[in-house]
Structure 1
Protein backbone atom coordinates (compact mmCIF):
# COMPACT_ATOMS: atom_id res chain seq x y z
CA UNK A 1 0.00 0.00 0.00
CA UNK A 2 1.40 3.39 -1.00
CA UNK A 3 2.31 5.58 1.96
CA UNK A 4 1.09 9.17 2.08
CA UNK A 5 3.66 11.45 3.69
CA UNK A 6 2.95 15.06 4.58
CA UNK A 7 5.72 17.46 5.48
CA UNK A 8 4.68 19.96 8.14
CA UNK A 9 6.37 22.65 10.20
CA UNK A 10 5.63 23.62 13.77
CA UNK A 11 4.42 27.12 14.61
CA UNK A 12 4.67 29.09 17.83
CA UNK A 13 2.29 31.93 17.06
CA UNK A 14 -1.43 31.31 17.55
CA UNK A 15 -4.59 33.35 17.11
CA UNK A 16 -6.81 34.55 14.28
CA UNK A 17 -4.37 37.17 13.06
CA UNK A 18 -1.50 34.69 12.85
CA UNK A 19 -3.73 32.18 11.05
CA UNK A 20 -4.76 34.79 8.48
CA UNK A 21 -1.12 35.61 7.79
CA UNK A 22 -0.33 31.94 7.32
CA UNK A 23 -3.15 31.53 4.82
CA UNK A 24 -2.03 34.59 2.86
CA UNK A 25 1.42 33.00 2.60
CA UNK A 26 0.04 29.73 1.26
CA UNK A 27 -0.14 27.63 4.42
CA UNK A 28 -2.89 25.95 6.40
CA UNK A 29 -2.84 26.28 10.20
CA UNK A 30 -3.42 22.99 11.96
CA UNK A 31 -2.95 20.93 15.08
CA UNK A 32 -1.51 17.52 15.93
CA UNK A 33 -2.86 15.87 19.08
CA UNK A 34 -3.69 12.57 20.76
CA UNK A 35 -1.96 9.44 22.07
CA UNK A 36 -1.37 11.06 25.47
CA UNK A 37 1.11 13.62 24.11
CA UNK A 38 0.91 17.39 24.17
CA UNK A 39 -0.81 19.08 21.21
CA UNK A 40 1.48 20.65 18.62
CA UNK A 41 0.49 23.61 16.45
CA UNK A 42 1.54 23.00 12.86
CA UNK A 43 1.41 24.53 9.39
CA UNK A 44 1.25 22.69 6.08
CA UNK A 45 1.47 23.72 2.43
CA UNK A 46 -2.01 24.57 1.14
CA UNK A 47 -1.50 23.50 -2.48
CA UNK A 48 -0.14 20.10 -1.46
CA UNK A 49 -3.11 19.40 0.81
CA UNK A 50 -5.52 20.52 -1.92
CA UNK A 51 -4.07 17.80 -4.16
CA UNK A 52 -4.41 15.22 -1.38
CA UNK A 53 -8.00 16.31 -0.82
CA UNK A 54 -8.89 14.68 -4.16
CA UNK A 55 -7.40 11.35 -3.06
CA UNK A 56 -9.92 9.10 -1.32
CA UNK A 57 -7.25 7.36 0.75
CA UNK A 58 -6.29 10.67 2.38
CA UNK A 59 -9.44 10.45 4.49
CA UNK A 60 -9.25 6.78 5.49
CA UNK A 61 -5.59 5.76 5.55
CA UNK A 62 -2.89 6.04 8.20
CA UNK A 63 -0.65 8.93 7.15
CA UNK A 64 2.95 9.78 7.93
CA UNK A 65 3.41 13.29 9.24
CA UNK A 66 7.00 14.50 8.82
CA UNK A 67 7.95 17.05 11.49
CA UNK A 68 11.32 18.61 12.37
CA UNK A 69 11.37 16.36 15.45
CA UNK A 70 10.65 13.15 13.53
CA UNK A 71 7.80 11.27 11.92
CA UNK A 72 4.37 10.65 13.45
CA UNK A 73 1.75 8.12 12.33
CA UNK A 74 -1.57 9.91 12.18
CA UNK A 75 -5.04 9.97 10.67
CA UNK A 76 -6.90 12.97 9.35
CA UNK A 77 -9.47 13.89 11.97
CA UNK A 78 -10.94 17.14 10.66
CA UNK A 79 -10.52 19.52 7.75
CA UNK A 80 -12.39 22.81 7.64
CA UNK A 81 -13.10 24.30 4.22
CA UNK A 82 -14.04 27.83 3.25
CA UNK A 83 -17.80 28.19 2.84
CA UNK A 84 -17.66 29.30 -0.82
CA UNK A 85 -14.01 29.25 -1.94
CA UNK A 86 -11.72 26.37 -2.88
CA UNK A 87 -9.66 26.90 0.23
CA UNK A 88 -8.86 24.80 3.30
CA UNK A 89 -8.99 26.86 6.48
CA UNK A 90 -7.73 24.47 9.18
CA UNK A 91 -6.65 20.87 9.53
CA UNK A 92 -6.48 18.42 12.47
CA UNK A 93 -4.37 15.26 12.68
CA UNK A 94 -4.76 12.60 15.37
CA UNK A 95 -1.77 10.55 16.52
CA UNK A 96 -2.49 6.86 16.56
CA UNK A 97 -1.73 4.35 19.28
CA UNK A 98 -1.24 0.90 17.80
CA UNK A 99 -3.04 -0.66 20.78
CA UNK A 100 -6.06 1.66 20.85
CA UNK A 101 -9.17 1.45 18.69
CA UNK A 102 -9.79 4.13 16.11
CA UNK A 103 -13.20 5.51 15.18
CA UNK A 104 -13.05 6.35 11.46
CA UNK A 105 -15.46 7.06 8.62
CA UNK A 106 -14.64 4.79 5.70
CA UNK A 107 -15.99 5.09 2.12
CA UNK A 108 -18.23 2.38 0.72
CA UNK A 109 -17.41 0.98 -2.73
CA UNK A 110 -20.50 -0.43 -4.43
CA UNK A 111 -19.48 -3.40 -6.56
CA UNK A 112 -21.13 -4.98 -9.64
CA UNK A 113 -23.60 -2.16 -10.22
CA UNK A 114 -23.43 -2.74 -13.97
CA UNK A 115 -24.64 -6.34 -13.60
CA UNK A 116 -27.06 -5.80 -10.72
CA UNK A 117 -30.09 -8.08 -11.22
CA UNK A 118 -32.62 -5.35 -10.43
CA UNK A 119 -31.04 -3.06 -13.02
CA UNK A 120 -30.47 -5.59 -15.82
CA UNK A 121 -33.73 -7.51 -15.60
CA UNK A 122 -35.98 -5.13 -13.68
CA UNK A 123 -35.02 -1.82 -15.28
CA UNK A 124 -34.40 -0.27 -11.88
CA UNK A 125 -31.93 2.35 -10.72
CA UNK A 126 -29.54 2.05 -7.79
CA UNK A 127 -29.89 4.53 -4.94
CA UNK A 128 -27.02 4.96 -2.46
CA UNK A 129 -28.58 5.83 0.87
CA UNK A 130 -25.19 6.25 2.55
CA UNK A 131 -21.74 6.35 0.97
CA UNK A 132 -19.51 6.02 4.04
CA UNK A 133 -19.58 4.07 7.28
CA UNK A 134 -18.15 4.74 10.73
CA UNK A 135 -16.09 1.80 11.93
CA UNK A 136 -14.08 0.82 15.00
CA UNK A 137 -10.76 -1.02 14.70
CA UNK A 138 -7.13 -1.08 15.68
CA UNK A 139 -4.82 0.90 13.36
CA UNK A 140 -3.35 -2.28 11.85
CA UNK A 141 -6.85 -3.40 10.78
CA UNK A 142 -7.94 -0.10 9.22
CA UNK A 143 -9.38 -0.73 5.73
CA UNK A 144 -9.11 1.91 3.02
CA UNK A 145 -12.70 1.21 1.98
CA UNK A 146 -15.46 -1.39 2.42
CA UNK A 147 -16.96 -3.24 -0.53
CA UNK A 148 -20.73 -3.67 -0.89
CA UNK A 149 -21.75 -6.20 -3.56
CA UNK A 150 -25.11 -5.33 -5.16
CA UNK A 151 -25.05 -7.99 -7.91
CA UNK A 152 -27.92 -10.08 -6.48
CA UNK A 153 -30.10 -7.12 -5.48
CA UNK A 154 -33.51 -7.29 -7.18
CA UNK A 155 -35.96 -4.52 -8.04
CA UNK A 156 -37.55 -3.19 -4.85
CA UNK A 157 -34.91 -4.73 -2.57
CA UNK A 158 -32.40 -3.08 -0.25
CA UNK A 159 -29.21 -3.97 1.57
CA UNK A 160 -29.13 -3.02 5.22
CA UNK A 161 -26.49 -2.28 7.82
CA UNK A 162 -26.63 -5.87 9.03
CA UNK A 163 -25.89 -7.10 5.48
CA UNK A 164 -22.51 -5.36 5.27
CA UNK A 165 -19.49 -7.65 5.52
CA UNK A 166 -16.50 -5.97 7.16
CA UNK A 167 -12.92 -7.27 7.37
CA UNK A 168 -11.70 -9.21 10.38
CA UNK A 169 -10.98 -6.94 13.34
CA UNK A 170 -13.41 -4.26 12.13
CA UNK A 171 -16.75 -3.39 13.74
CA UNK A 172 -19.57 -1.20 12.49
CA UNK A 173 -19.87 1.57 15.07
CA UNK A 174 -23.64 1.95 14.75
CA UNK A 175 -24.22 -1.74 15.52
CA UNK A 176 -21.82 -1.66 18.47
CA UNK A 177 -23.69 1.33 19.90
CA UNK A 178 -27.15 -0.19 19.48
CA UNK A 179 -28.08 1.34 16.14
CA UNK A 180 -30.78 0.00 13.82
CA UNK A 181 -29.47 -3.06 11.94
CA UNK A 182 -32.22 -2.56 9.35
CA UNK A 183 -30.96 0.87 8.31
CA UNK A 184 -30.92 0.93 4.51
CA UNK A 185 -27.56 1.24 2.77
CA UNK A 186 -28.44 0.85 -0.90
CA UNK A 187 -31.60 -0.01 -2.81
CA UNK A 188 -32.86 -0.70 -6.33
CA UNK A 189 -36.00 1.22 -7.22
CA UNK A 190 -38.07 1.90 -10.31
CA UNK A 191 -37.06 5.07 -12.16
CA UNK A 192 -39.06 8.10 -11.05
CA UNK A 193 -40.46 8.67 -14.54
CA UNK A 194 -41.97 5.16 -14.50
CA UNK A 195 -43.51 5.70 -11.08
CA UNK A 196 -45.06 8.99 -12.18
CA UNK A 197 -46.48 7.32 -15.30
CA UNK A 198 -48.04 4.56 -13.21
CA UNK A 199 -49.52 7.11 -10.81
CA UNK A 200 -51.16 8.92 -13.72
CA UNK A 201 -52.62 5.69 -15.06
CA UNK A 202 -54.08 4.87 -11.65
CA UNK A 203 -55.80 8.23 -11.16
CA UNK A 204 -59.64 7.97 -10.90
CA UNK A 205 -61.61 9.00 -13.99
CA UNK A 206 -64.19 10.99 -12.03
CA UNK A 207 -65.11 14.09 -13.95
CA UNK A 208 -63.78 12.63 -17.19
CA UNK A 209 -66.91 10.68 -18.26
CA UNK A 210 -68.26 11.97 -21.54
CA UNK A 211 -71.51 13.82 -21.19
CA UNK A 212 -74.43 12.58 -23.34
CA UNK A 213 -75.57 15.46 -25.49
CA UNK A 214 -79.32 16.12 -25.50
CA UNK A 215 -80.50 17.58 -28.80
CA UNK A 216 -82.17 20.96 -28.51
CA UNK A 217 -85.93 21.08 -29.14
CA UNK A 218 -87.10 22.80 -32.26
CA UNK A 219 -88.91 26.09 -31.74
CA UNK A 220 -92.57 25.57 -30.92
CA UNK A 221 -92.18 21.89 -30.04
CA UNK A 222 -94.22 21.01 -26.95
CA UNK A 223 -92.49 19.28 -24.07
CA UNK A 224 -95.48 18.84 -21.83
CA UNK A 225 -99.29 18.12 -21.84
CA UNK A 226 -100.42 21.72 -21.62
CA UNK A 227 -103.28 22.40 -24.10
CA UNK A 228 -104.20 18.74 -24.55
CA UNK A 229 -107.97 18.25 -24.98
Structure 2
Protein backbone atom coordinates (compact mmCIF):
# COMPACT_ATOMS: atom_id res chain seq x y z
CA UNK A 1 0.00 0.00 0.00
CA UNK A 2 1.31 3.44 -0.92
CA UNK A 3 1.10 6.74 0.93
CA UNK A 4 1.94 10.03 -0.79
CA UNK A 5 3.19 12.88 1.39
CA UNK A 6 5.12 16.12 1.17
CA UNK A 7 7.34 17.82 3.73
CA UNK A 8 5.33 20.22 5.90
CA UNK A 9 6.97 23.62 5.90
CA UNK A 10 4.73 25.52 8.34
CA UNK A 11 4.34 24.06 11.82
CA UNK A 12 2.34 24.85 14.93
CA UNK A 13 -1.32 24.79 15.92
CA UNK A 14 -2.43 27.57 13.56
CA UNK A 15 -0.65 25.99 10.59
CA UNK A 16 -2.26 22.61 11.33
CA UNK A 17 -5.70 24.23 11.45
CA UNK A 18 -5.13 25.80 8.05
CA UNK A 19 -4.09 22.43 6.66
CA UNK A 20 -7.21 20.73 7.96
CA UNK A 21 -9.45 23.44 6.51
CA UNK A 22 -7.80 22.68 3.15
CA UNK A 23 -8.58 18.96 3.55
CA UNK A 24 -4.95 18.19 4.36
CA UNK A 25 -3.68 16.01 7.19
CA UNK A 26 -0.66 16.96 9.33
CA UNK A 27 1.63 14.16 10.40
CA UNK A 28 5.19 13.11 11.09
CA UNK A 29 7.54 10.36 9.95
CA UNK A 30 10.41 9.38 12.23
CA UNK A 31 12.97 6.66 12.85
CA UNK A 32 15.76 5.20 10.80
CA UNK A 33 18.92 7.21 10.35
CA UNK A 34 17.13 10.46 9.48
CA UNK A 35 15.61 13.15 11.70
CA UNK A 36 11.87 13.29 12.31
CA UNK A 37 10.15 14.98 9.38
CA UNK A 38 6.82 16.87 9.62
CA UNK A 39 4.64 15.87 6.68
CA UNK A 40 1.27 16.67 5.14
CA UNK A 41 -1.02 14.32 3.26
CA UNK A 42 -4.39 14.39 1.52
CA UNK A 43 -6.96 13.74 4.23
CA UNK A 44 -9.57 11.60 2.49
CA UNK A 45 -7.33 8.81 1.14
CA UNK A 46 -5.91 8.31 4.66
CA UNK A 47 -9.35 8.52 6.27
CA UNK A 48 -10.64 5.65 4.11
CA UNK A 49 -7.39 3.68 4.33
CA UNK A 50 -7.68 3.67 8.13
CA UNK A 51 -10.92 1.72 7.78
CA UNK A 52 -9.02 -1.17 6.23
CA UNK A 53 -7.46 -3.77 8.50
CA UNK A 54 -4.52 -4.19 6.14
CA UNK A 55 -3.47 -0.54 6.47
CA UNK A 56 -2.79 -1.01 10.19
CA UNK A 57 -0.72 -4.20 9.82
CA UNK A 58 1.25 -3.75 6.62
CA UNK A 59 4.56 -2.38 5.49
CA UNK A 60 3.66 0.79 3.61
CA UNK A 61 5.55 2.58 0.86
CA UNK A 62 5.67 6.31 1.51
CA UNK A 63 6.49 8.60 -1.39
CA UNK A 64 7.84 11.69 0.37
CA UNK A 65 8.72 14.56 -1.97
CA UNK A 66 9.12 12.03 -4.77
CA UNK A 67 11.42 9.69 -2.83
CA UNK A 68 10.13 6.29 -1.69
CA UNK A 69 10.83 4.72 1.70
CA UNK A 70 9.30 1.94 3.79
CA UNK A 71 7.17 2.95 6.78
CA UNK A 72 4.61 1.53 9.18
CA UNK A 73 1.66 3.26 10.81
CA UNK A 74 2.35 3.92 14.48
CA UNK A 75 -0.43 6.23 15.72
CA UNK A 76 -3.26 8.50 14.64
CA UNK A 77 -5.72 10.83 16.32
CA UNK A 78 -9.38 11.27 15.38
CA UNK A 79 -11.62 14.27 16.02
CA UNK A 80 -13.85 13.64 19.09
CA UNK A 81 -17.08 13.72 17.05
CA UNK A 82 -16.31 14.60 13.42
CA UNK A 83 -15.25 12.01 10.80
CA UNK A 84 -11.83 13.63 10.60
CA UNK A 85 -8.28 12.44 11.19
CA UNK A 86 -6.40 15.08 13.18
CA UNK A 87 -2.83 13.80 13.08
CA UNK A 88 -0.93 10.69 11.98
CA UNK A 89 2.49 9.18 12.79
CA UNK A 90 4.59 6.86 10.64
CA UNK A 91 7.88 5.13 11.46
CA UNK A 92 10.62 4.45 8.94
CA UNK A 93 11.88 0.89 8.70
CA UNK A 94 14.74 -0.86 6.94
CA UNK A 95 14.18 -3.88 4.70
CA UNK A 96 16.94 -5.84 6.46
CA UNK A 97 15.93 -5.04 10.07
CA UNK A 98 13.22 -6.82 12.05
CA UNK A 99 10.09 -4.92 13.02
CA UNK A 100 7.58 -5.47 15.79
CA UNK A 101 4.01 -5.19 14.55
CA UNK A 102 0.46 -5.96 15.61
CA UNK A 103 -1.06 -8.56 13.30
CA UNK A 104 -4.83 -9.21 13.27
CA UNK A 105 -6.24 -12.65 14.05
CA UNK A 106 -8.84 -14.31 11.80
CA UNK A 107 -10.82 -16.93 13.70
CA UNK A 108 -12.59 -19.90 12.11
CA UNK A 109 -13.86 -23.39 12.89
CA UNK A 110 -15.55 -22.68 16.24
CA UNK A 111 -18.86 -24.20 15.12
CA UNK A 112 -17.11 -27.48 14.26
CA UNK A 113 -15.30 -27.81 17.61
CA UNK A 114 -16.31 -30.44 20.20
CA UNK A 115 -16.77 -27.63 22.70
CA UNK A 116 -19.58 -26.10 20.64
CA UNK A 117 -21.04 -29.13 18.82
CA UNK A 118 -21.03 -31.58 21.72
CA UNK A 119 -20.92 -29.55 24.93
CA UNK A 120 -22.90 -26.53 23.69
CA UNK A 121 -20.23 -24.21 25.08
CA UNK A 122 -19.12 -20.83 23.78
CA UNK A 123 -15.63 -20.01 22.52
CA UNK A 124 -14.61 -16.51 23.56
CA UNK A 125 -12.06 -14.52 21.54
CA UNK A 126 -10.04 -12.67 24.16
CA UNK A 127 -7.83 -10.65 21.77
CA UNK A 128 -8.15 -9.58 18.15
CA UNK A 129 -4.42 -9.25 17.36
CA UNK A 130 -0.98 -10.34 18.55
CA UNK A 131 2.42 -8.68 18.37
CA UNK A 132 4.98 -10.38 16.15
CA UNK A 133 8.58 -9.73 15.19
CA UNK A 134 9.99 -10.42 11.74
CA UNK A 135 11.64 -8.92 8.70
CA UNK A 136 9.37 -6.58 6.71
CA UNK A 137 9.11 -8.98 3.75
CA UNK A 138 7.92 -11.80 6.08
CA UNK A 139 5.14 -9.82 7.80
CA UNK A 140 1.81 -11.68 7.38
CA UNK A 141 -1.36 -9.74 6.59
CA UNK A 142 -3.15 -11.77 9.29
CA UNK A 143 -2.76 -14.95 11.32
CA UNK A 144 -5.39 -17.68 10.88
CA UNK A 145 -6.65 -19.22 14.12
CA UNK A 146 -8.31 -22.64 13.77
CA UNK A 147 -10.70 -23.29 16.66
CA UNK A 148 -12.08 -26.60 15.36
CA UNK A 149 -10.11 -28.68 17.90
CA UNK A 150 -11.19 -26.72 20.97
CA UNK A 151 -12.72 -28.80 23.77
CA UNK A 152 -14.33 -27.89 27.08
CA UNK A 153 -11.88 -26.42 29.55
CA UNK A 154 -9.32 -25.53 26.89
CA UNK A 155 -7.56 -22.20 26.41
CA UNK A 156 -5.49 -21.26 23.37
CA UNK A 157 -2.35 -19.14 23.84
CA UNK A 158 -0.66 -16.94 21.24
CA UNK A 159 2.56 -18.97 21.48
CA UNK A 160 0.57 -22.00 20.22
CA UNK A 161 -0.51 -20.32 17.01
CA UNK A 162 0.77 -21.55 13.67
CA UNK A 163 2.73 -18.64 12.18
CA UNK A 164 4.74 -18.40 8.95
CA UNK A 165 8.47 -19.16 8.91
CA UNK A 166 10.55 -16.26 10.14
CA UNK A 167 7.72 -14.83 12.24
CA UNK A 168 7.95 -14.88 16.05
CA UNK A 169 5.07 -14.12 18.42
CA UNK A 170 6.47 -11.62 20.92
CA UNK A 171 4.09 -12.00 23.89
CA UNK A 172 2.24 -15.02 25.24
CA UNK A 173 -1.41 -14.14 25.83
CA UNK A 174 -4.68 -16.07 25.89
CA UNK A 175 -6.21 -15.88 22.43
CA UNK A 176 -9.40 -17.90 22.96
CA UNK A 177 -11.05 -19.82 25.79
CA UNK A 178 -14.03 -22.11 26.16
CA UNK A 179 -16.86 -20.87 28.34
CA UNK A 180 -19.11 -23.60 29.73
CA UNK A 181 -22.85 -23.20 29.17
CA UNK A 182 -24.86 -21.83 32.09
CA UNK A 183 -27.62 -24.17 33.26
CA UNK A 184 -30.85 -22.33 33.95
CA UNK A 185 -32.77 -23.39 37.05
CA UNK A 186 -36.50 -23.74 36.51
CA UNK A 187 -38.33 -22.16 39.45
CA UNK A 188 -42.07 -22.12 40.18
CA UNK A 189 -43.46 -18.65 40.68
CA UNK A 190 -45.03 -17.90 44.08
CA UNK A 191 -48.41 -17.27 42.46
CA UNK A 192 -48.34 -20.69 40.81
CA UNK A 193 -47.47 -22.36 44.13
CA UNK A 194 -50.44 -20.65 45.78
CA UNK A 195 -52.75 -21.83 43.02
CA UNK A 196 -51.47 -25.37 43.23
CA UNK A 197 -52.07 -25.64 47.00
CA UNK A 198 -55.95 -25.46 46.91
CA UNK A 199 -55.98 -27.83 43.95
CA UNK A 200 -53.98 -30.36 45.93
CA UNK A 201 -56.32 -29.96 48.91
CA UNK A 202 -59.39 -30.56 46.74
CA UNK A 203 -57.83 -33.67 45.30
CA UNK A 204 -57.59 -35.10 48.82
- Say yes or no: TM over 0.5: yes
**Number of matched pairs:** 188
> 1:59 is matched with which residue: 56, 61, 64?
56
Distance 2:157 2:33 in 1: 37
Normalising by structure 1, we get a TM-score of: 0.76
Q: CA deviation at 1:159?
A: 0.6
Query: 2:57 and 2:159 mapped to 1: Cα distance?
Result: 22
SS in 2 for 1:134: strand
- Distance in 2 separating the partners of 1:131 and 1:88: 23
* Structure-to-structure mapping, 1:17-166, within 5 angstroms: 17-166=14-163
TM-score normalised over the length of structure 2: 0.84
| Partners of 2:110 and 2:150 within 8 A in 1 | no
| 1:163 to partner: Cα distance | 1.5
Q: Distance in 1 between matches of 2:73 and 2:96?
A: 18
Q: Give unpaired runs (5+ residues) of structure 1.
A: 175-180, 202-229
Structure of larger gyration radius: 1
Unpaired runs of 5+ residues, structure 2, are 188-204
Rounded Cα–Cα distance in structure 2 between residues aligned with 1:83 and 1:170:
36
Residues 138, 167 of structure 2: 8 Å contact kept: yes
CA distance in structure 1 between the partners assigned to 2:60 and 2:159 by the alignment: 30
